[in-house]
Each structure stands twice: as C-alpha cells, then as structure tokens.
Amino acid sequence: MQVVVDSREQCPFRFEGFNAVVEVAGLEAGDYSLQGFERRVAIERKSLPDLVACLGVERERFARELSRLRGYDCAAVVVEASADDLRAGHFRAKLNPEAAWQSVLAFAQRYRIPFFWSDSRADAEETTFHLLRHYQHDRMRELQALRIPARIAPAATERRGPGVGMDGKPNPPESRQRAANGPPSRAQAGTGAGT
C-alpha cells in the first residue's frame, strides 16, 4: 500500500512495521491519503492539543478543512487521545471540556466526518493505516468487478447470438416475439392478445 503523507504534517506517522510505502507530497486536504486516490480519501490526524485548538481559536480554519473533506469518498479525523481525555479536560487550553465535546459532535454531524479516538499515538497510527487499507481494499474490489463484466459480456453476446440470455440459457420464444413486436398495449395486456 502506498501512503501519501502531506508535506506540511509536522509529526508524521512513519508506518514502520506496517505493509506500507510512505511518500511525502502536498495534499489538498488531510494529512494522509493513498497514491492515486489523493482527492478521494483523506485522514486528518490530531493530537489532543491540536484538536482543542481546532475547537477553539482555530475553529473557522478547522471548519473549512472539514468542509473540503466532506466532498471526499472517505474522510476521517483520527485523534491521538481518548474521548474521555477531552471530556475530562486533560488539556491546558482555556476551553470548557463539555463545550469542546459538543463541538466535536456538532462537527461530526454537520460535515458527516467521523472522529476516531485512540489510546495512544501508536493506536492512532494503526487506526489510520487500517482506515486507508480498508478503503483501498474496497476500491480494488470495485475495480475488479467493473473489469470482469466488461471482458465477459461482449464475447458472450457475440458467441451466443440473439435469443440467448447472458446466463447461457435460450430465451423463451414468446419473449423473443415480444421483443420484436415491442411492449404490449394496455388493451392487449388485458385480453392476452398479441402474445
């Protein structure tokens, strides 16, 4: 998996011990993404002091960031602390812990972006890795599903010819006749005529 780390990220995860190759580049939003999906998936990392600042003095900037992330297929905020740490006021800023918690809930609801809480920085790194891994896995499955019918359908149609369904079974004669004559009118449908 090729993880892209934003060049402005000050304390980046290194993903050592994970099956990931890390590339540093400028991201439009978020701190972490996947190569090739930079505008579709983004994870924003926050330490507890960072988050508290975003809920207080940097609130407008944080709201703009979440607004950008809202347009992504997958976006999340991963916090290097527990929700209990925030609610108990385990930070130095002069922000009411309950007001901070209510701000998190409001942001999550307003922008439809989940906040993932962690017991440690290592836990936050693992959460970030697995969010990206699951996103990549799902996209690869979608791409594979799109490729399979594109290869099978044209060849199957050419080989089978008209009157044979995609399941390989012949279409019943009446369905071929209906297809040739078009859909029955209401009068025909009610009387059974035309079939």
Distance of CA 175 to the CA centre of its chain: 42
What are the tokens at 165?
């369904």
Q: Decide if 53 contacts 16 (C-beta within 8 A).
A: no
Per-residue model confidence as pLDDT tens for the chain (195 residues) = 999 999 999 999 999 999 999 999 999 999 999 999 999 999 999 999 999 999 999 999 999 999 999 999 999 999 999 999 999 999 998 899 999 999 999 999 999 999 999 999 999 999 999 999 999 999 999 988 887 554 444 444 444 455 555 555 565 656 555 555 555 555 555 555 554
What are the tokens at 82?
């527990």
All domains of the chain, ordered by start, with CATH?
2-142 (3.40.50.10130)
Specify the residue for token string 């809480």. 117
